[in-house]
Structure 1
Amino acid sequence: MTLIMLSFSALLATLFIFTATTMLCMIQIALPKEQKTHFKRYERRSRCYKNEYEDDVKLEKSETEDQSLQATTQTIKTLQQELDEVDQGLRGSIDTELCLKQLEYLNRKYPDQAEILCMIGMAHQKLAFATEDLSVRKYHIDRGMAACQTSLEINCNQSEAHKWIAILIGLNGETQTTKEKIESGKLFKKHLDAAIGLKPEDPVLQHLAGRFCYEISSLNWVEQKLVKNAFPEPLNCTYDKALLLLLKCERLYEPGWKENRLFIAKCYIAKKITDKQ
């Protein structure tokens, strides 16, 4: 509204100056030389006033744009602070249901923010993992995957969204048939590879890749045949490869991760090795 009023005022001022200048030019034709000189001085002053006014308008417009930019920046900072708080809650001991409600509120407020949708997927994964009720688990898995898929539609270059889809797929195996597990495995591998391509130094991704190799290597001959026919490219999964990936996770995650160490031990047992070489 301020810019519209300024523009209207500038238009009126310009019309006034133009009209006055035109009338002065017409009057000068019949005036003596001395009076014409006075009119020329007046015209010069008029042009100066016009330039000063236009400069003031530009300055006020620039200040208004700066204020708008500052307000937008402040909104982004506030949103990021809220997301950081929710993220800490999800990774800590704060009620996950409460975190999910806050994220859903933020998603309604900022529907085009891919990070919010990705975190909704993360919250659903935690709730799915925490329940023993298979119907409730499936509900959270489906909702979490849908949120992450929408997040990828907004921004496809998100390692976190691919990662949480892969983790959610991994939770869905208990009630699946062998055929469904193979199809889920293909989807799992697709998102896992995409996530690693975007963020290769993520220890969780290296752990997931190591576990995938271990599980494929542990299949019996018939199951491995089915998997081989299902995947377009050879998986080349071995206990050695699984061990390398799990050890990389161990290096990347300095505090140590019990579950990762458990699978490292499983790999050594499967390879019939008891001591590290």
Structure 2
Amino acid sequence: MFINTYLMMPCRCLEKAFKGGSFLVYEAHKLISGFAEVHASFKVEEVIEQADYLYGSGETEKLYRLLVQHKNSDDAELLWRLARASRDLAQLSSTSAEEKRQLAYEALEYAKKALENNESNFAAHKWYAICLSDVGDFEGIKTKIGNAVVIKEHFQRAIELNPKDATTIHLIGIWCYSFAEMPWYQRKIAATLFATPPTSTFQEALRYFHMAEEADPNFYSKNLLFLGKTYLKLNNKKMALLWLSKAKDYPAHTEEDKQVGS
């Protein structure tokens, strides 16, 4: 508040002096304007730093409260983090069913806005795809399958922009696994929505899960679990046991890790 007042006062004085034709005052005004822009940028960086600390600490509710104050921002880095925080809040067991639905749609809007403001931001593509998939859970199987191609395209674009992001590679693996085990009635729906329905195989899913593990070894208990599950689908019990044992022995840092290991 003090800095904002400090910046506003000289600007009013400079505007008055500029009417008198002072070139030097005009240059000073430009300098102060530049300082204001730098300060605004620095503030965004501070919020992001604080947000990343809260995320790493598992402070989901505090993180959401921090970031939702900036929901009207045009900064893609802030917006995709807000999309993620909204989704994480929706996942909490303490969140009501109605709140889960509202937060899912909010998260999608924030991710969409992040993407509109910076198409080259890999995380914006990643979280737009995740949130679009979440909304499909509320709109039924036709919408979910109908969005499937778009979801995969955004995951692939995210990997193009950041080939080392193991989580996105894992999510494409999940996409492939889901279509490989799709029930017949869902395949029938897919056939009505697409001239060439999206399909995949367990071999393709396995390739992505291994790629994710190569990008960041032992990064995620669920990737280990799905390596095991996919090997089971391929009737390779020896490799399935290897990866399922790794998933079971994975140190439980989150509620999801505990579920995987149980």
- C-alpha separation between the residues in 1 aligned to 2:225 and 2:31? 56
Counterpart code for 2:74: D
For the pair 1:193 / 2:156, whether they are aligned, the reply is yes
Q: In structure 2, do the counterparts of structure 1 residues 180 and 74 end up closer, same or farther at CA, with 3 Å as the change threshold?
A: closer
For the pair 1:104 / 2:68, whether they are aligned, the reply is yes
Counterpart residue number, 1:207: 170
In structure 1, the gaps of 5 or more residues are 11-56
Counterpart residue number, 1:50: none
In structure 2, the gaps of 5 or more residues are 1-12, 240-262
Aligned residues: 227
Counterpart residue number, 1:123: 85
Q: Deviations over 1:158-209 (max 9, x none)?
A: 3222212222234445555432332243442343233333333311111110
Is the 8 Å Cα contact of residues 71 and 110 (structure 2) preserved in structure 1?
no
Is the 8 Å Cα contact of residues 137 and 144 (structure 2) preserved in structure 1?
no
**How many angstroms does 1:247 deviate by?**
0.6
- C-alpha separation between the residues in 1 aligned to 2:142 and 2:199? 20
Instruction: Identify the match of residue 79 of structure 1 among 44, 47, 55.
Output: 44
Is the 8 Å Cα contact of residues 218 and 224 (structure 2) preserved in structure 1?
no
Counterpart residue number, 1:65: 30
Question: Greater Rg, structure 1 or structure 2?
Answer: 1
Is the 8 Å Cα contact of residues 124 and 141 (structure 1) preserved in structure 2?
yes
Secondary structure in structure 1 of the residue aligned to 2:148: helix
Is the 8 Å Cα contact of residues 214 and 239 (structure 1) preserved in structure 2?
yes
Secondary structure in structure 2 of the residue aligned to 1:107: coil
Is the 8 Å Cα contact of residues 63 and 85 (structure 2) preserved in structure 1?
yes
TM-score by length of 1: 0.71
Counterpart residue number, 2:20: 8
Is the 8 Å Cα contact of residues 186 and 231 (structure 1) preserved in structure 2?
no
Secondary structure in structure 1 of the residue aligned to 2:35: helix
The sequence identity of aligned pairs, in percent, is 23
Is the 8 Å Cα contact of residues 120 and 144 (structure 1) preserved in structure 2?
yes
Q: Any residues of structure 2 matched to 1:133-212 within 5 Å, and which?
A: 133-172=96-135, 177-212=140-175
Q: Deviations over 1:98-157 (max 9, x none)?
A: 22222122335xx32232222221111101111364322111101111121222222333
Q: Deviations over 1:74-106 (max 9, x none)?
A: 321122121121122123222x22222221223
- C-alpha separation between the residues in 2 aligned to 1:9 and 1:139? 55
Is the 8 Å Cα contact of residues 68 and 82 (structure 2) preserved in structure 1?
yes
- C-alpha separation between the residues in 2 aligned to 1:104 and 1:163? 20
